[in-house]
Amino acid sequence: MKDRPSQFSSASASAHIDEVTGGRRLRRLRRTDWSRRLVLENELSVNDLIWTFFLTTGTGVAEPVEAMPGVERYSVDMAVRMAEKAAKLGIPAIAPFPREDPEKKTEDGSYITDPDNLINRAVRAIKKEVPEIGIITDAALDPFTTHGHDGILRNGEIVNDESVEMIVRGALSQAEAGADVIAPSDMMDGRIGAIRKALDENGFNHIPIMSYAAKFASAFYGPYRDAIGTLGLLKGDKKTYYVDPANSEDAVREAEQDIAEGADMLMVKPGLPYLDIVYRLKETFRLPTFAYQVSGEYAMIKAAALNGWIDEEKVMMESLLAFKRAGCDGILTYFALDAAQRLK
């Protein structure tokens, strides 16, 4: 015991370490900045970003979303300006979500089919002024129903086939308004095939479908429901149609089914807590695969940053890079504008 310090001279420690590692020192390539850059495996680019944001009625409106500091709801005219900003930053696509006028909400969500609803007006205006940016629209019913569900509610049940009919009509009205990608987030069975058929039969066979294939019944959507005004409305939960957070085989089956029905791209939602699903879907199907960094994920990062507990910019960029490492081709994120600015 007395000799112990001398046994740990640096020379003998080195010899010991070389013996156990076989001389393989993984830190060699991490020593310098140039060398770290040289061996980078994944990189985030502005081409990976899809900007998610909110719409509201009126003109000249940019109002803050309480649970998402830094995020605002825009009236159509302001959304056009913001889309222009996104396009100038090189962001390839946007995904707007409407906070519809509560008076337009109905039991069956049929306002989704109105050519003059908020989302369709915004799509038309943005397509006219900023044609170079891609617009991805959600064909789910939740902004349009009085109960906040993504489908039609009958006797306490979300009825599948009738919901699909309405969702298909909504998707068609979005395509007619000029949407570039239809991205249904409702998780009804058979909706991908039904939307594909309707698009093809109506002159929209060039419009791709990005399926929210693996959408989980998650508590991370809280701030979004506040943002689109469905928080107080939602009756019960969405467990009868979204995937259980405990399951991954079910997520694989959902993706397999959506691909068989004609999905061009897959999405996983939420994002960071579900990177294992991203990895599995990418490895299994090799399709363009996306993840949605949802409102609750955004709020967590913002809240910690506002408290001075984490470095917002670093955590934002690290979280986005993690999606790339897991296999994402792109990320739907409320951070898109900030991240794009940072990537300039």
| Residues annotated as part of the active site | 215, 269
Cβ atoms of 265 and 104 within 8 Å: the answer is no
Tell me how far, at minimum, the Cβ of 302 lies from ligand PBG, in Å. 13
Tell me how far, at minimum, the Cβ of 205 lies from ligand PBG, in Å. 25
Residues numbered 227 to 286 that lie near ligand PBG (CB under 6 A) are 238
Q: Which of 140, 209, 278, 320 binds ligand PBG (CB under 6 A)?
A: 140
Residues numbered 193 to 232 that lie near ligand PBG (CB under 6 A) are 221, 224-225
Q: Which of 75, 117, 174, 185 binds ligand PBG (CB under 6 A)?
A: 185
By the rule CB under 5 A, 254 interacts with Mg ion = yes
By the rule CB under 5 A, 150 interacts with Mg ion = no
- Give the nearer residue to ligand PBG in terms of CB position, either 224 or 323: 224
Cβ atoms of 209 and 265 within 8 Å: the answer is yes
- Give the nearer residue to Mg ion in terms of CB position, either 94 or 251: 251
Q: Using CA atoms, how far apart are residues 60 and 184, in angstroms rounded to an integer?
A: 29
Neighbours of 276 (CB within 10 A): 12
Please give the torsion angle defined by the CA atoms of residues 211, 320, 242 and 304, in that order, rounded to the nearest 10 degrees: -150
- Give the nearer residue to ligand PBG in terms of CB position, either 185 or 211: 185
Stretch that binds Mg ion, among 126-134, 202-210, 246-254, 270-278 (CB under 5 A): 246-254
- Give the nearer residue to ligand PBG in terms of CB position, either 104 or 225: 225
Tell me how far, at minimum, the Cβ of 189 lies from Mg ion, in Å. 6
Tell me how far, at minimum, the Cβ of 97 lies from Mg ion, in Å. 21
Name beta bridge partners: 51.
94, 333
- Radius of gyration (C-alpha) of the chain in whole angstroms: 23
Partner whose footprint covers residue 291, from ligand PBG, Mg ion, none (CB < 5 to 8 Å by kind): none
Q: Using CA atoms, how far apart are residues 235 and 240, in angstroms rounded to an integer?
A: 13
Binding site for Mg ion (CB under 5 A): 254
